[in-house]
Structure 1
Amino acid sequence: MGKIFETIDEQLQAFIESQQIFFVATAPLSDAGHVNLSPRGLDSLRVLGPQTVAFVDMTGSGVETIAHLKENGRITLMFCAFSGPPKILRLQGIGEAITLDDARFEEVQQDLPVLPGVRAIIHIQLDRISDSCGYGVPQYEYLGDRTQLTDYTERKGPVGIVEYQRKKNRVSIDGLPGLDV
């Protein structure tokens, strides 16, 4: 039976920190817009407080999470236990993309890992923390992180990444504003 929690306690934090992947879901306000669901990994997320989490948002081919957060702030993170006891944890709340040009970026980044190609930190104030059984989630063996994204961003370098963001990250697939590059 699923439970709702007031805060992220030590057990939930340990569960979150033991997961190698989590999923991020956002959506625009328009019924015609696309719901976005993205997998994230690379040890990019941290629990910052009992109702606050943040993760490093790296440069990618889309900018849906940032665009949706700019428009309405709604976000859900989902963690699934692919090994060990079955469990699903959902963190729902209001998120904000703190971009490199934001005066708060350096302060917030201090609590997160430094990864190449970062374009924002997604900072989330949680209003619902819940779990469910996860009995239907298959078991998988973790083999390691892929290096293609970090290798690519390191090869492109800071100037190349900004140019890529200008081409690919200015608007979402639904035409919502993305990065101000």
Structure 2
Amino acid sequence: MGKRFEAISEALQEFIAQQKIFFVGTATDTSRVNISPKGMDSLRVLDANRVIWLNVTGSGNETAAHLRTHPRMTIMFAAFEGAPMILRLYGTARAIHNGDAEWAALYAHFPANTGARQIFDMQVELVQTSCGMSIPFFDYVDEREQLNQWAVNKGEQGIRDYWQEKNKLSLDGVPTGIDKVL
């Protein structure tokens, strides 16, 4: 059943590379817990204890706000095909914004994306697997392109205007740090 590891093994790195969706969980000590689904081939394993994921513009910016206060993060993957498994990565993370010294090197790991908002850089401290035997099978059909097209239609200035209006504070009023690139 469940196993704990100090690092992401090569086999688990292969599992991660095959996944089409993952879930990110964050919270401050007093905020709502945020769990967000992510896709779009936006996660990269850099080494056995470090992952990055490209966060694109969306309706909220909870993860960025939470990490400024409490940098803990959990990323979860679930096998929806093949052998059952749930994989969780526990660690601490920080947001990298366009203009930060690391941005260009980290952004180079991803295809260009008009809606790119932050890259989250996570140091993995604990890797945990569990059985996943209750998770149903789902068939992957294709990627949704609506969010990318929305960002392209808004353009760079439209995206920045959206950040100003919708992404500066979390649901609980916690600053997200997006101001530094506005």
User: What TM bracket, shorter-length normalisation?
Assistant: over 0.9
TM-score by length of 2: 0.96
Query: Identity of paired residues, percent?
Result: 45
8 Å contact kept, 1:2–1:131: yes
Alpha-carbon separation, structure 2, partners of 1:108 and 1:54: 8
1:146 aligns with 2:144: yes
1:92 partnered with 2:90: yes
Please report how far the alpha carbon of residue 111 of structure 1 lies from its aligned counterpart in structure 2 after TM superposition. 2.3
Structure 2 unmatched runs, 5+? none
Q: Which residue of 4, 23, 36 corresponds with 1:38?
A: 36
Q: Is the 8 A contact 2:7 2:125 kept in 1?
A: no
Q: State the distance in 1 between where 2:149 and 2:109 align.
A: 23
| Residue number in structure 2 paired with 1:159 | 157
Alpha-carbon shift at residue 116 of structure 1 (Å): 2.4
* CA distance in structure 1 between the aligned counterparts of 2:144 and 2:110, rounded to whole angstroms: 19
Question: Separation in 2 of the partners of 1:116 and 1:16?
Answer: 25
Paired residue type of 1:24: V
Match of 2:22 in 1: 22
1:83-125 deviation digits (Å, cap 9, x = unpaired): 1110000001001010113122112212233222001001000
Alignment of 1:158-177 (within 5 A): 158-177=156-175
- C-alpha separation in 1, matches of 2:134 and 2:96: 35
Partner residue of 2:77? 79
Aligned residue number for residue 2 of structure 1: 2
Instruction: List runs of 5+ in structure 1 lacking aligned partners.
Output: none
d(CA) in 2 for partners of 1:20, 1:28: 27
1:48 touches 1:111 (CA, 8 Å); kept in 2? no
Q: Is the contact between residue 65 and residue 174 of structure 2 (CA under 8 Å) also seen in structure 1? A: yes
Number of residue pairs the alignment of both structures matches: 179
Counterpart AA for 1:118: A
Letter of the structure 2 residue corresponding to residue 133 of structure 1: C
Q: Secondary structure of the equivalent of 1:172?
A: coil
SS at 1:165 equivalent: helix
C-alpha separation between the residues in 1 aligned to 2:139 and 2:73?
28
CA–CA separation in structure 2 for the residues paired with 1:88 and 1:174? 30
